[in-house]
Amino acid sequence: MGTRSTIDRPTAGVSPPHAAALVADLLGWFAGARRDLPWRRDRDAYRVWISESMLQQTRVEAAVPYFERFVARFPTVAVLAAAPVEAVLAAWSGLGYYRRARSLHAAARAVVERHGGEVPSEREALLALPGIGPYTAGAVASIAFDRPEPLVDGNVARVLSRLFALDAPSDSARFRAESWRLAGELVRVAAPHGPGDWNQALMELGAVVCVPREPRCLACPVKAHCRAIADGRTSELPVPKRRAQPIDVEVHVALVRDGDRVLVAQRPPGGRMEGLWELPAIEPSGARRLHAAEWPGDGALIAGDEIGSVAHSITCHRIRARIFAARWTASDTAPPLRMARADELGALGLTGLASKALRASSTEAVQRESRSARRTRDACAGRVR
């Protein structure tokens, strides 16, 4: 292990010659290495905003098809603002953290009302929009408008922690403050060369070279400026966060099929994943609560055999969902329940867990068990568990 340095030492700052050489080397590399991504084909602020919002949810490769579908469905801020929120949630379905999709919709409306439909270029005006935080404001201001505003995401934080040997745990306030301070210093040095390119170059380096495990230091364009490699500390930086213990949750899911229709329930207002659709689900008593405890449609849902299970994670919850073949015994459904055709499900906005359970239930084995469960449903007793 090499010599330890700390962020309190002067070397954690950026000396002007060091910063200038670092900027030149990284931008030189980025000019030849930048990936061709759909949101990089122009600097349209709306597209930058949508892409950066998605990239906070998922990896670049996974974000591309979501991005292309989203901007095809909502090509401008005005179209997004005029759309029903359910359509936005449906287009976001699968990316997770649906509050971000709701905020995106609310912010589009605010852009139309306050800025005539033009995404503002100033950081403060961006920060005043619903759901836009320092990262997204920095991304839009720098990439779309070439303003010298910093940004720090996971990739940038990791790169800076190694370049400058930041010793604070990566979830600490001190680490965040140092990362933003360094990012701010560097983007000002890079300003004459294009702050948007600089910020993207930092993120790109973190995504393809200075990766979390086994960074590709030999191929790194800025290895000459890196404290971590000089100190032999690339494998120990950034200092890991103190992880919260995952919470195990068991959920029982009822699968009611009627021909090509499936019984689904809309998540209630004010809670997690508000407005999205899921398969009717409850948690057996004793489990930590993640969903509402009570299943609507009192008494009409009759559960049968267990036909499968899926695992799913939401933030710190580790969910095991047991799927039960079930039947709906009432003549009709009322909100929040409805029978939805298979071809409607995509447009409804399903929770990730519901999508997984439906995929699992469409496997041949589960369908077979489901048919078997229907044949023997007279033997089924009691409400869904």
The tokens 């001190």 sit on which residue? 174
| From 56-64, 157-165, 250-258, 291-299, span contacting ligand SF4 (CB under 6 A) | 157-165
163 vs 279 by CB, closer to ligand SF4: 163
Does position 209 bind ligand SF4 by CB under 6 A?
yes
Distance (Å, whole) CA 51 – CA 71 = 9
162 vs 257 by CB, closer to ligand SF4: 162
Does position 157 bind ligand SF4 by CB under 6 A?
no
201 vs 348 by CB, closer to ligand SF4: 201
Residue from 7, 132, 187, 220 that binds ligand SF4 (CB under 6 A)? 220
Supply the minimum distance, in Å, between the C-beta of residue 295 and ligand SF4. 51
Does position 234 bind ligand SF4 by CB under 6 A?
yes
Supply the minimum distance, in Å, between the C-beta of residue 155 and ligand SF4. 11
Distance (Å, whole) CA 340 – CA 276 = 13
Strands 261-266 and 277-278 turn out to be: antiparallel
Handedness of CA 11, 16, 22, 23 (dihedral sign): positive
Per-residue b or e along 271-302, where b marks 16 or more CB atoms closer than 10 Å to that residue's CB: ebbebbbbbbbbbeeebeebbbeebbbeebbb
Residue from 19, 71, 157, 229 that binds ligand SF4 (CB under 6 A)? 229
209 vs 265 by CB, closer to ligand SF4: 209
Active site residues: 52
Q: What is the 3-state secondary structure (H, E, C) of 199-232?
A: HHHHHHHHHHCCCCCCCCHHHCCCHHHCHHHHCC
- Angstrom CA distances, 113 to 77, 78, 100, 110, stand at 11, 10, 20, 5
Supply the minimum distance, in Å, between the C-beta of residue 30 and ligand SF4. 13
Supply the minimum distance, in Å, between the C-beta of residue 166 and ligand SF4. 12
227 vs 312 by CB, closer to ligand SF4: 227
Does position 37 bind ligand SF4 by CB under 6 A?
no
Contact partners, residue 117, CB within 8 Å, separation at least 6:
76, 77, 78, 81, 111
CA angle 338, 92, 265 (to 5 degrees): 15
Confirm if 321 and 354 have CB atoms less than 8 A apart.
no
Supply the minimum distance, in Å, between the C-beta of residue 22 and ligand SF4. 10
Confirm if 111 and 129 have CB atoms less than 8 A apart.
yes
Provide the mask over 125-144, with x wherever binding to ligand SF4 is found by CB under 6 A and - wherever it is not: --------------------
Omega of the bond prior to 238 within 30 degrees of 0, cis? yes
Does position 233 bind ligand SF4 by CB under 6 A?
no
Residue from 81, 95, 159, 345 that binds ligand SF4 (CB under 6 A)? 159
Q: Report the candidate in 158, 171, 159, 337 with the shortest Cα–Cα distance to residue 258.
A: 337
48: three-class secondary structure by DSSP: helix
Residue from 160, 163, 287, 323 that binds ligand SF4 (CB under 6 A)? 163
95 vs 157 by CB, closer to ligand SF4: 157
Does position 186 bind ligand SF4 by CB under 6 A?
no
Does position 162 bind ligand SF4 by CB under 6 A?
yes
Enumerate binding residues for ligand SF4 (CB under 6 A). Answer: 159, 162-163, 209-210, 215-217, 220, 222-223, 226, 228-229, 234
